[in-house]
Chain A
Amino acid sequence: ETGVTQTPRHLVMGMTNKKSLKCEQHLGHNAMYWYKQSAKKPLELMFVYNFKEQTENNSVPSRFSPECPNSSHLFLHLHTLQPEDSALYLCASSQNRDGAYEQYFGPGTRLTVT
């Protein structure tokens, strides 16, 4: 496996379900991110983890719960979602060192909440 991988690629869940999205990076990076991409809107940063510590939570509802057990893995736990949460969820990683600002993205999980 290379780069940033995400599973599952597609997920359909009811509003009462609990599910988790998984992201894994194979680049040796130390920062990981969750983004939400909705149609016709810019990417929205949700969470940032640096060295496994959460450093950013952009006013995300508590029905989204991130977890970063180590620098290579990132999860997004979902519960009691709303239909407006349907979107593409992208994971990204980057190396936190001087001069390295670019982020590398996974293929995303297409989430549909019914």
Chain B
Amino acid sequence: AQTVTQSQPEMSVQEAETVTLSCTYDTSESDYYLFWYKQPPSRQMILVIRQEAYKQQNATENRFSVNFQKAAKSFSLKISDSQLGDAAMYFCALAGSARQLTFGSGTQLTVLP
């Protein structure tokens, strides 16, 4: 069984500052993918960034980057230069060979002007 844990139900960050959202996971598979999804108040779930477990290099997408620590089974998301539009619920997710996503419980991010 796969599990994904997000221990921070809520986080806040000042506009233009940097924030890191935590995620830990557990899986018995060696080949898997990790994702961060964003769900703004409009409710459309949007893929933010993905990481293949076999890649050592941390994924980056503009202001979003991850810190993937495979041995520690940790997958945190860093948002740099936070913007008001970044305010949303962020979900960490894991997909193994069955291709089914296991989601964490989410972190509600508030961006303060």
A-contacting 9-mer, from B13-21, B37-45, B61-69, B79-87: B37-45
A102 with B103: in contact, given A43-B91, A107-B42 (CB under 8 Å)? no
* A32 CB–B CB distance under 8 Å: no
Do B103 and A42 touch across chains, with their CB atoms under 8 A apart? Answer: yes
Q: What 0/1 readout, one digit per residue, does chain A (26-48) give for beta carbons within 8 Å of chain B?
A: 00000101000000111101001
What are the residues of chain A within 8 A of B52 when measuring CB–CB?
Answer: 99
What are the residues of chain B within 8 A of A104 when measuring CB–CB?
Answer: 47
Do A42 and B44 touch across chains, with their CB atoms under 8 A apart? Answer: no
Q: Residue of B at shortest CB range from A95?
A: B99
A45 with B101: in contact, given A101-B33, A102-B33 (CB under 8 Å)? yes
Complex CA gap A31/B45 in Å reads 17
* B56 CB–A CB distance under 8 Å: no
Closest approach, in angstroms, between the C-beta of B106 and any C-beta of chain A?
7
Complex CA gap A109/B38 in Å reads 17
* A66 CB–B CB distance under 8 Å: no
Interface size on B, residues (CB 8 A): 21
Closest approach, in angstroms, between the C-beta of A51 and any C-beta of chain B?
13
Closest approach, in angstroms, between the C-beta of A67 and any C-beta of chain B?
20
What are the residues of chain A within 8 A of B91 when measuring CB–CB?
Answer: 42-43
* B90 CB–A CB distance under 8 Å: no
* B100 CB–A CB distance under 8 Å: yes
Do A94 and B99 touch across chains, with their CB atoms under 8 A apart? Answer: yes
Question: Chain B: residues with CB nearer than 8 A to chain A?
Answer: 4, 33, 35, 37, 42-47, 50, 52, 91, 95, 99-101, 103-106
| Nearest 7 interchain pairs by C-beta | A105-B45, A101-B95, A101-B33, A43-B103, A42-B103, A107-B44, A42-B105
Question: Chain A: residues with CB nearer than 8 A to chain B?
Answer: 31, 33, 40-43, 45, 48, 56, 88, 90, 92, 94, 96, 99, 101-108, 110
Q: List 6 A-B contacts (CB under 8 A).
A: A33-B100, A42-B104, A94-B99, A101-B50, A104-B47, A105-B37
